[in-house]
Amino acid sequence: MKILGKSAVYVAVSCLLLVLLGFAPGASAGPVTMNITNSNCGLSCGIVPANTVIGTVTMNLNLSGSITVTVLLNPAYTFIVPDGNDINFNLGNSTPSNVSVSNFFQSDTGAPGTFTTPLLFSSLNGPTNVGGGLGSYAVTIFKVQDPNKPQQPLDYLTFTLTNSSGSYSMADLTNATWAFHLGTCPQPTQGCNATTTGFVGTGPGTPSTVPEPGTATLAILGTGLLFLSRFTRRRFKSLTVA
């Protein structure tokens, strides 16, 4: 009976090593999520209690080296639209000249699959000092607007950042800082109050748990196990006959 050759064994072992070491195609880095909670007026310029979590920023590192950012505000808060509706960030070596923004959409509910309304912005600026202890930010996405709904509320948005100087890393995501011009909006049909939060920034980010394996990863694992199973069974039979 023919026994699997050394090359087949090498293929099987290599596949398993790829999976175990996390280099298999389809595997992607887990997201980093930050709370939006630090105000440049200490949350003392209005009715918002100190340390209130106003929303979250979630960053996913794509296989291409770009980053998908999703901002979700909690109920009763909104981006200040259209005056001063800015998104400020420090992210790796990003500057207005090497970063680009694409896939910029908003959602009315924040649910997955509902980010379908395109958003516009005036320009990429920076550095910008928002003051009040939050400091300076390398890049500002200036005057974000929904052309179909020019007034508040604007609560849920997503976009992709690509750096022409190279790929982003998980360290860039973990060490990123963000600041947004937000306000309370308990009754959106009656207008919103921009003075209760001002610019609000993020705290340190923490990566999520180890990412789940993708379809390609599982396929490679299955192929490796199949090769090893066949090799072990035939090798055992060969030794038994001998």
For 183-235, how does the pLDDT look when each residue is reduced to its tens digit (9 = 90+)?
777 666 666 655 556 677 886 555 544 344 444 444 444 555 555 556 555 55
What are 24-55's pLDDT values in tens digits?
A: 443 456 799 999 886 665 445 555 666 778 89
What are 56-111's pLDDT values in tens digits?
A: 999 999 999 999 999 999 877 888 765 557 899 999 999 999 999 999 999 989 99
Cα distance between residue 72 and residue 76, in whole Å: 12
What are 173-183's pLDDT values in tens digits?
A: 999 999 988 87
Cα distance between residue 56 and residue 42, in whole Å: 18
Cα distance between residue 182 and residue 85, in whole Å: 8
- The pLDDT value recorded for residue 201 is 81
Tokens (6 digits) for 107: 């959602």
- The pLDDT value recorded for residue 194 is 54
- The pLDDT value recorded for residue 85 is 74
- The pLDDT value recorded for residue 88 is 93
Do 94 and 138 touch, CB atoms closer than 8 A? yes
Q: Radius of gyration (Cα) for the chain, nearest Å? A: 24
Q: Is 79 exposed, middle or buried (0-12, 13-18, 19+ CB in 10 A)?
A: buried
- The pLDDT value recorded for residue 17 is 45
- The pLDDT value recorded for residue 54 is 85
- The pLDDT value recorded for residue 195 is 55
What are 127-175's pLDDT values in tens digits?
A: 998 876 788 999 999 988 877 776 667 889 999 999 999 999 999 999 9
pLDDT band, very low/low/confident/very high, at 20 (cuts 50, 70, 90): very low
- The pLDDT value recorded for residue 27 is 42
